[in-house]
Amino acid sequence: MNSIRRQLIPWLKVLVSQGVVLALVLWLRESIPVDGPLLLVAQGLAAALIGRLLGLSPFWIPIQILLPLAAAYNAVVPAWAYLAAFIVCALIYWNSASEQVPLYLTNRRTWQALDTVISEQKATSFVDLGSGMGGVVTFLADAHPGLRARGVETAPLVFLASRIRLMLRRLPNAEFAYRSIWDEDLSAHDVVYCFLSPVPMPRIFLKAKAEMRPGTLFVSNSFTVPDVEPDAVVEVDDTRKTRLYLYRI
């Protein structure tokens, strides 16, 4: 139930932001100096701004911008455009269906909380299982030059974005690998981090216990391991009230 609610909340925020902007446009229609596609793009930009204020991640910005255009020109959009959109979505959510893990992006406040965990643990190696756009890995690698930070990801477009991010940042102590989280050897890492979903948590924790060294730390964002009490819980001061669950192996 919590997982379903977490997936619905962003879409509700999209509907709220789009609805607020549409209501303003209808109310001020006579005094708005632009019309047509330009007005629709302006609507999308305004909705994207409201969405950011409501706590939506940057991932939703292009969706917010395109929604008014898609709604207005639905009848004239060529069929290939929908195919292209499907392919892009498939490349982003490549493994969501099989692993039942949506694309969750770790926010900057949580990056900082993980920074503290790394410092307290005196970790020299870190892995992000399902590293997404690569924000966590590049942030920690930059903050801790002596840390080997690694991310693993199998969604093609998302993985490509993380590689481009790393290429621009030029961090020699960071790396991204295109591989399944189930194929990653966890024994090489002092801190293992994941932001998955309730579904794979029992299995990923069994893998962690089997492979990780005694004294190392398994960290889960938002989702607990069923029937296992965490050794500590880090409360993140963000709008989502994120919690990091820390399990000492």
Cβ atoms of 104 and 135 within 8 Å: the answer is no
What does the alpha-carbon distance between residue 88 and residue 102 come to, in Å, rounded to a whole number? Answer: 15
SS3 content of the chain, % helix, strand, coil (to 5): 55, 15, 30
Beta strands 217-221; 191-194: pairing state:
parallel
What are 134's two structure tokens? 């690569």
- Number of C-beta neighbours around residue 163 at 10 A: 16
Amino acid 219: pLDDT: 98
What does the alpha-carbon distance between residue 235 and residue 91 come to, in Å, rounded to a whole number? Answer: 33
Residue 86 φ then ψ, to 5°? -65, -45
What are 118's two structure tokens? 């790394």
pLDDT along the chain (249 residues), means of 10: 56 83 80 73 88 78 80 62 56 52 77 96 96 94 97 86 91 94 94 91 96 97 95 91 95
Amino acid 67: pLDDT: 78
Alpha helices in 93-198 (DSSP H): 96-99, 108-121, 135-143, 156-169
What are 164's two structure tokens? 């481009």
Amino acid 231: pLDDT: 96
Amino acid 167: pLDDT: 92
Residue 220 φ then ψ, to 5°? -115, 130
What is the CATH superfamily name and number for domain 108-248? Vaccinia Virus protein VP39 (3.40.50.150)
Beta strands 125-129; 148-153: pairing state:
parallel
Amino acid 117: pLDDT: 97
Three-state secondary-structure class, residue 217:
strand
In terms of Cβ atoms closer than 10 Å to its own Cβ (0-12, 13-18, 19+), residue 42 is middle
Amino acid 95: pLDDT: 56
Q: How many residues does the chain have?
A: 249
Q: Tell me which DSSP letter residue 205 carries.
A: H
Q: What is the pTM of this model?
A: 0.67
Query: What are the residue boundaries of the structural domains of the chain, listed by start?
Result: 2-77, 108-248
Amino acid 97: pLDDT: 46
What does the alpha-carbon distance between residue 246 and residue 213 come to, in Å, rounded to a whole number? Answer: 15
The one-letter amino acid at 123: A
Amino acid 82: pLDDT: 53
